[in-house]
Structure 1
Amino acid sequence: MARKFRITTTHLKWLSFVTCVVMFLATMGGLVVTKSGSGLGCGNEWPLCHGQFVPAYTISSLIEYSHRAISALAGLTALFSFIGFIFFNKHRELKVYASLTLLFVLVQAVMGALAVVFSQSAPIMALHFGFAMIAFASSSMMALGARRMDQQKGDLPIPDEPPVSKGMRNLTWFATIYTYMVVYTGAFVTHTDSRGGCSGVLLCNGSILPELSGGVAVAFFHRVAAYSLLIVIAVLAHYAYRRHPYNPGIRKLGVTAIVFIIMQILSGMLNIVTMKIPEWYFFSSMLHTLLIQILFGVLCYMSVRVWQLSRGTRGKLGQNV
């Protein structure tokens, strides 16, 4: 007699991992579309590409259509994860992550369709990237949470973690929200074609405070926001490491955050240096986006952990339902 198949925590863990990877590929694929100038590779049509399901074999149409296909796959994996965690999992926290992942995948898909129909509007394109990044961060938290859930299988003990202060919680939340705002300014630089507004790695067009107009203003304010974010993350990392000697999880997250923001700043400088070398600039801008995605995911997960520990859950995955 055949054994009845049952959805286990291990199945959900691997499903969440697949969802996270596909979500990452969809987000990076959107960047390839932007950097290669393939945003209108399928014309102003969605979901068809020049009136066809299978487009003509031009480079721009293939890039745009491939991005749409991966985004559709991301939607399917997000849907499967949502169903799996809603119906076959008892942890409320993971239900929330799965719901957020599906929600923001759908939102960013709508924004992508609007960007095509309305000829690549800069605000819509920036929002499209921002929502895609939230979807990736949600899927990352779902994958990390599912991993913790699988560790608890069979009542395996997970070490308790000391509580954190509300001040640490609020600082982490502020850093996470501010990071998202800085990302949006960077996306706006890209989609308004203002990346050349500030020449020079340290100074902007040879001045500490340049004439603020047009692309110069957009690029300068993004640069100021990025450097101020470095200060915010440095303060967060200091308090995470120095004030939590008995909480290795929070300390590791703080160190990871400061490492990635430093790498992010350096990659931004590399963007400026390689701006006139298209081949190198393509890869440096991809690296720039990759690093900020990881940083935002780390901060989102850290935000959840400090919230849990400030409420005295002491390392538990979350309340059951």
Structure 2
Amino acid sequence: MNWLDRRNVAILGAVTTGLTFLLILLGVYTAATGTGLTCQGRWPLCGGPLFGLLPPNVASYPEWIHRFVASITGFFILGTAYGAWKAFDSRRIHAAVAISILVLPVQVLLGRQTVVTYTAGVQTLHHGAAMIIFAALVGATAWMFDRSNESVRKATADSESTARTVDAD
């Protein structure tokens, strides 16, 4: 089984898009509740046990969970971009995943600035960058599924054509 099969990469894109959406929801919750302030401006650590990696108190769990999910999602975005680049030859798909990986480091830096400064302007930019990444992933995933289904439709049409040829003989 080839893990870079078009269908598998499209499914990875869907999982990555879902994770990104979950991450956005966690970020909105963290901002709305003010739990980003519980790490007292420290980034990427949060001042808790295990060299500051774990949250120092229950109030900082949402912020810590947001950071943890963000790190996992970042790797999923990179994996999806790699898979899409290898499995598909579509310029649209390549452009969409390129946008997501180009905005990703900017998003990480904006996340840091959000924690350090906690200003509305930085939070707005951080959320805007998240929307750009999410939109790029939605587009890439939709196009990947379309292309992978196109392969299935072509294979089905070819097998039906072969069956008709065999029946005609």
Higher relative contact order (CA 8 A, sep 6+): 2
CA positional deviation for 1:138: 0.8
Q: What is the letter of the counterpart of residue 102 of structure 1?
A: I
Distance 2:150 2:56 in 1: 50
Q: What is the letter of the counterpart of residue 123 of structure 1?
A: G
Query: What is the SS of the residue equivalent to 1:152?
Result: helix
The answer (yes or no) to whether the contact 1:75–1:106 under 8 Å persists in 2 is: no
Closer, same or farther: CA 6–80 of 1 in aligned 2, 3 Å? closer
The answer (yes or no) to whether the contact 1:74–1:105 under 8 Å persists in 2 is: no
Q: Which residue of 1 aligns with 2:131?
A: 133
Q: Which residue of 2 aligns with 1:31?
A: 28
CA positional deviation for 1:108: 1.6
CA positional deviation for 1:57: 3.0
2:84 counterpart of 1:85: yes
2:40 counterpart of 1:10: no
**CA offsets, 1:84-109, max 9 Å, x none?**
11223211211111111122232222
Q: What is the letter of the counterpart of residue 80 of structure 1?
A: G
Q: What is the letter of the counterpart of residue 83 of structure 1?
A: Y
Q: What is the letter of the counterpart of residue 98 of structure 1?
A: V
Q: Which residue of 1 aligns with 2:151?
A: 153
**CA offsets, 1:136-183, max 9 Å, x none?**
1111111111111111114539xxxxxxxxxxxxxxxxxxxxxxxxxx
2:8 counterpart of 1:43: no
Distance 1:126 1:88 in 2: 35
Q: Which residue of 2 aligns with 1:96?
A: 95
Distance 2:133 2:64 in 1: 20
The answer (yes or no) to whether the contact 1:85–1:98 under 8 Å persists in 2 is: yes
Instruction: Give 5+ residue unaligned stretches, structure 1.
Output: 158-321
Q: What is the letter of the counterpart of residue 7 of structure 2?
A: T
Give the alignment's TM-score, normalised by structure 2: 0.83
Distance 1:57 1:36 in 2: 15
- Mapping for residues 141-220 of structure 1, pairs under 5 Å: 141-154=139-152, 156=154
Distance 2:3 2:112 in 1: 38
CA positional deviation for 1:8: 0.7
Q: What is the letter of the counterpart of residue 145 of structure 2?
A: R
Q: What is the letter of the counterpart of residue 24 of structure 1?
A: F
Q: What is the letter of the counterpart of residue 112 of structure 1?
A: G
Q: Which residue of 1 aligns with 2:164?
A: none
Query: What is the SS of the residue equivalent to 1:48?
Result: coil
Instruction: Give 5+ residue unaligned stretches, structure 2.
Output: 156-169
Q: Which residue of 2 aligns with 1:317?
A: none
Q: Which residue of 2 aligns with 1:53?
A: 53
The answer (yes or no) to whether the contact 1:41–1:63 under 8 Å persists in 2 is: no
Distance 2:108 2:133 in 1: 11
Closer, same or farther: CA 150–131 of 1 in aligned 2, 3 Å? same
Distance 2:3 2:18 in 1: 24
CA root-mean-square deviation: 1.7
Query: What is the SS of the residue equivalent to 2:37?
Result: coil
Distance 2:61 2:54 in 1: 9
Give me the identity figure in percent: 26
Q: Which residue of 2 aligns with 1:106?
A: 105
